[in-house]
Every structure is written in structure tokens, then in C-alpha cells.
Amino acid sequence: MTRLGMVMDLDRCIGCWACAIACAMENHVPQGLWWQQVLTVGGNERDTSGGEFPSLIKSYQPTNCAHCAEPPCIPACPTEAIYKRADGIVLIDYDACNGCRDCIPACPYDAFVFNAGEPLAPGVEPGDGAAEVMPRRPGVVEKCTFCVHRVDQGLAPACVAACPTGVIAFGDIADPESEVARKAARPGAVRDKPELGADPSLVYLPYTKGARQRRSGYAWS
């Protein structure tokens, strides 16, 4: 059975947010909300490292709905607005959503955002982006759809197409012949918070370069 998923190779991620901006444009996500974000793993502020110069450690981690095999959001929704397609994509029926937001804490991956009627970004109007993407009414939750409207046309999600360094592989991770499944099977591939049992379809190849890197410079030689 098909199980669409993503493998993100963090050794290729440069933290540029092209994925997230392509997502926001494609899906006309309201300003200030993100269906996809690029987390800085390191320091407390965006783009800063942890540790002390020069023993720094920093990596970037794109994150979005993991379209889990066992999505904890589905049983958490009192109006049964969240459902999973046969290909594994987890979607929200916006008409059925009552805005209670019980899904937000139920999700281990911070995938859901609540649209309280946030304006779109300056320069973006309802209906911009992909024509197939439905504008959401205020008062519902929303999240990454794996760009289901593109998937149904045989296209990769907008973030995958936009990434300039080829971080994200997308496809059927249940098909052992697929590129995405081969990457997911690489040594070191991890899923976030596996102990929670959601079985996410978002797999990371962790950032490894920092630990292997030689460093030479004036503050420590």
C-alpha cells in the first residue's frame, strides 16, 4: 500500500527557507503562520550556533506535518475533521473543523496552526498561489497537505520543487525500490520522537558534518 513520505538530508540543508516560502506562496498561508518551518538546531536565536567559538554546533531542520501512519491528531479531533487518505496524506476537512484546537497539543510535531483570521501577507490576496488550493475561512486549523493538489497531478510538493540544494526526497516510502525508501533505509536515518508511536512519514538523515569538521582559527590556536 502506498505511503507517501519525505526524507530530509540535513547534511545538505543551508537554512534558506525557500521550502517554507514556496509552501506559503503555493498555499497562500496567512502572514505569521507557517505550514513548514526551518528550525535552527544549536543556539537560542535563529541562525545562531550552540557551544562556544570555535566549538560550535549548528544545523537546520525543515519541519512540517509528518503525515504519520498513526496520526495522534485524528483521535484527538472531536468533530472527525481530520482524515487520512489511502496514500497516507493526512488532511483537514475545513467545513468540519470547529476551531477547538485539540489537535494542536495532540500533534508531537507542531504541525497545526490556528488561523484566527490572520491577514495574508502584504501583497498576497485570497486565491493567490495555486488556484487549486482552497482559501481557509478564519477560525479553523490548517497544516501541510503534502501539496495534495500537486501530488494528484503527479507533481512533487512545492517545498520539494523549491529546495535549491536537494534536501527533500518525496515519494512512496513503502516501496523499497523508491529513492525515498532507499534514503530512509540509510544508516543513521531517524524519525523524530519515535517513542510516541505516531510512526511519522517524515524521516531525517541527520547533520553530521560539524562533528567531522577540522577547524583552524585565531581564537583557539
Partner 1 sequence: MAGPGTAVGGAEHVAYTACAANCGGRSRLACTVRGGRLVKVEAAPFPDERYTAACLRCLAFPQWVYSPERLQHPLRRVGPRGEDRFERVSWDEALGDIAAKLRELHDRHGGQSIAFTRTSGASAFGNFHRLSSLLQATNFVGGVDMAVHMGLNTALGYRGMYAQDANEWTDRPNAKVVLVWGNNPAETSMTSFRFLLDAQEAGTTIVVVDPRYSATAMHADWWVAPRPGTDTALTLGMLHVIAAEGLVDEEFARAHSTAPLLVRADTGRYLRQSDLTEGGSSAFMEWDPDSAAVRPLAESPRPALEGAFEVGGIPVETVYSLLRRHLQAYDPERVAEITGVSARDITDLARLYATAGPATIGYGYGVDRYVHAEMVTRAGAILALLTGNIGRPGAGVGVASHGGGAYEASLADPMPLPAWARGSAVPNIDVGALPLPVRALVNQGDWLNQRVAANDRLRGFMSELELVVTIDSFWQTSCRWSDYILPASTFLEANEPVRDVLVTRNSVLLREKVIDPLWESRPDADIERDLATRLGFGEYYTASAEEMAQAAVEGSSSPRMAGLTYERLRAAGGALRLDAPDAPHVQYDDLRFGTPSGRGELYVEDLVPLGQHFPIHVEEYEASLASADVQAFPLVFTQNHVRQRAHSSFFNSAWTLGIWPGPILELHPADAAARGVAAGDVVEVFNRRGRVVVHAVPNPDYPPGLCNITEGWKQQQFIEGNLQSLTNPTPSPAQELLWGQSNIPFYDTRVEVRKYPGPAAAAP
Binding positions for partner 1, rule: CB under 8 A: 11-12, 14-18, 20-22, 24-26, 31-32, 43-54, 56, 58-60, 91-95, 121-125, 127-135, 145, 148-149, 152, 161-162, 164-166, 209-210, 212-219, 221
- β-bridge pairing 4-9 and 202-205: parallel
Q: Map grid coordinates 569538521 to a residue.
A: 213
Nearer to partner 1, 51 or 194 (CB): 51
User: In the complex, what is the shortest distance from the CB of residue 161 to partner 1, in angstroms, rounded to a whole number?
Assistant: 7
User: In the complex, what is the shortest distance from the CB of residue 195 to partner 1, in angstroms, rounded to a whole number?
Assistant: 29
User: In the complex, what is the shortest distance from the CB of residue 98 to partner 1, in angstroms, rounded to a whole number?
Assistant: 14
- β-bridge pairing 168-172 and 4-9: antiparallel
Nearer to partner 1, 128 or 175 (CB): 128
Backbone φ, ψ for residue 18 (5° rounding)? -60, -40
Nearer to partner 1, 80 or 197 (CB): 80
Tell me how far apart the alpha carbons of residues 83 and 77 are, in angstroms, rounded to a whole number. Answer: 10
Nearer to partner 1, 54 or 191 (CB): 54
Which among 99, 88, 163 is positioned nearest to 136, based on CA atoms?
99
Backbone φ, ψ for residue 40 (5° rounding)? -90, 125
